[in-house]
Amino acid sequence: MRKERETILVLRSCKSDLTSYKGFQWPDSGEVVAPDWDPSPICGNGLHGWLWGFGDFTAQYIEPTTAWLVVEVIGNTIINLEGKVKFPRGRVIYCGNFTNAFSMVRKEAFKRGLE
């Protein structure tokens, strides 16, 4: 069972201007909140990404200028979807390239024994 305030890391990609689906604007750091949150286990109505850097990456932005974010999320707010997760809010703790973002997420997963 997860502790109520336990945090997890979610990896996600955005366009270089930090926008995503329907023009949602992500910050390069700090708090982020889904304005349309709905906890239904269907895609949409929330913030999305890959739990601990794993999942279906076919929905990612793939451009030389893609921005990769690491988002810290309270674990019990995560809704598992097929190949990705959604959540109502989080805190962006990294914005940059894929190598650094993925490494940050996987190192934390390893440290917690999730490998």
Q: Is the pLDDT of residue 1 over 60?
A: no
Whether 59 is covered by a domain: the verdict is yes
In a domain, 18, yes or no: yes
- Residue 31: which domain range? 7-111
Q: Where residue 113 falls among pLDDT bands split at 50, 70, 90? A: confident
pTM (2 d.p.)? 0.91
Nearest CA-CA partner of 86 in 36, 114, 27, 45? 45
Q: Domain tally for the chain?
A: 1
pLDDT at residue 59, as a whole number: 62
In a domain, 33, yes or no: yes
Residue 25 lies in a domain: yes
Residue 1 is assigned to a structural domain of this protein: no
pLDDT of residue 38: 97
Q: Answer whether residue 2 is part of any domain.
A: no
Whether 27 is covered by a domain: the verdict is yes
- Taking only the tens place, the pLDDT of each residue in 19-77 is 998 899 999 999 999 999 999 999 999 999 999 998 887 766 678 889 999 999 999 99
Any bridge partners for residue 51, and if so which? Answer: 10
For residue range 64-101, what is the model confidence (pLDDT) as tens digits? Answer: 889 999 999 999 999 999 899 999 999 999 999 999 99
